[in-house]
Amino acid sequence: MRTGTLKKLKATQLKSLPEGVHSDGGGLYLKSKGNRQSWIFRFTMNGRKREMGFGALSIVSLATARDLAAQARDKVARGVDPISARKDASPAPSRAQQGISFEAAIDRHVQRNKADWTSAKHAKIWENSLRTHARSLLDRDVATITVHDAEAILAAIWAEKPETARRVRQRCERVMAGCIVRNEHPGPNPFAWRDNLEVLLAKVSRVRNHHGMVAVEDAPQVVATMMGSDALGAKMNILVAHTALRSGTARTLAWSDVQGDMIVVPPERMKSRKAHRVPISNPLGAFLDALPRFNASPLVIPGSSPGRPVSDMTASKYLKGIYPGAVVHGWRSTFRTWAAREGYDRLLAEDMLSHSLGSNTVEAAYLRGDLAEKRREMCEAWSTYLQGTK
């Protein structure tokens, strides 16, 4: 096969690449979609275009992927199908040779990925969800886990806790993917959804849990109540309501992030690991200008303990006290519901929430512009609505 230019990609740029398929040359590509990035190798065998996977970027480094691609190219040049060759060379692992428990596989996955996650709390939630809902598999050799085992642990929560079940399935799938790449499980992935678990588990109407949102029609009155309070919890909820930032991001917001008429949150503090910009509306600007500044803290809203942000419990307890059942994260759902009712473009609303956006050609063309600037009018209208003046 023709190799062309090799080694086009740089290791330092991989995690910041936009969605799409990025060539490294010689048939090796990095496929990036949302928060997932994986290696694929494309080749032609007997006039038929083929594609094989080398694993996720979080598991397979650029150097390793290049070695695997070189080996695959050599096989293609000799008329050997690299996909068939890999299957022939990867018999089902025996317990004595490569056995690893599912619990150990979870620990390994967490250790390898926690540095890329937003917080230690997120890592703990991730791990605990599997220890709780996949408890019966913890002592099992991963090589022995089947789709029926996956079905059994998910069926217990599938109808009553569909969102939890969805997350548990995805997390188990990621753990098992690492085991398959390491030849610790023969594959296919027992937790894969398409043409696998989707056949065994009943379709559940996906009603999104809006995290105890404040109803859109109640939002102006709730904000008015908070504006009349000096409580730290009130101030934090006001900030989250206007910006639609995640609670953790808002609680660590620093004055250095407030840059002119824009809030700019650096990648390392975003769940998406991409910088996020929030236009500062007039009501939000007035709120920020009225906040006291403390020389001892760089935070926009520092907590009561020196050097610490406002705790999640402080913000949550305050909101539940004035609007029972609501949680701080629910402000994002309140905003999203309002934006849909007002007819704002889905892309603008999703970008405001720093959600992953689509990658089709129409959306890709749209995204070439600066969405933060396009969001400015929407942010102004949202803040004005919260102030009760519209």
The residue type found at 245 is L
Instruction: Identify the pLDDT of residue 172.
Output: 94
Of 252 and 5, the structure prediction assigns the larger pLDDT to 252
Instruction: Identify the pLDDT of residue 120.
Output: 75
pLDDT digits (tens, 9 = 90+) for 46-63: 888 888 988 888 777 888
Third-level CATH fold of 11-89:
Double Stranded RNA Binding Domain (3.30.160)
Domain ranges across the chain: 11-89, 97-200, 216-386
What is the assigned CATH class of domain 97-200?
A: mainly alpha
Angle 244-246-247 (CA atoms, 0-180°, nearest 5)?
Answer: 110
| Pairwise CA distance, residues 354 & 358, whole Å | 12
Instruction: Identify the pLDDT of residue 126.
Output: 87
CATH superfamily of 216-386: Intergrase catalytic core (1.10.443.10)
Please give the structure tokens belonging to residue 226: 């908070």
Query: Cα-atom radius of gyration of the chain, to the nearest Å?
Result: 24
| Pairwise CA distance, residues 197 & 212, whole Å | 30
pLDDT digits (tens, 9 = 90+) for 206-263: 444 445 889 888 999 999 999 999 999 999 999 999 999 999 999 999 999 999 999 9
Please give the structure tokens belonging to residue 130: 């599997």
Mean pLDDT of 270-296: 88
Which range scores top for mean pLDDT: 153-157, 178-182, 350-354? 178-182
pLDDT digits (tens, 9 = 90+) for 131-142: 989 988 998 999
Helix 102-113, helix 162-181: angle, nearest 10: 90
| Pairwise CA distance, residues 40 & 202, whole Å | 32
Mean pLDDT of 88-100: 56
Whether the predicted pLDDT of 34 surpasses 60:
yes
Mean pLDDT of 34-40: 83
Global pTM value: 0.50
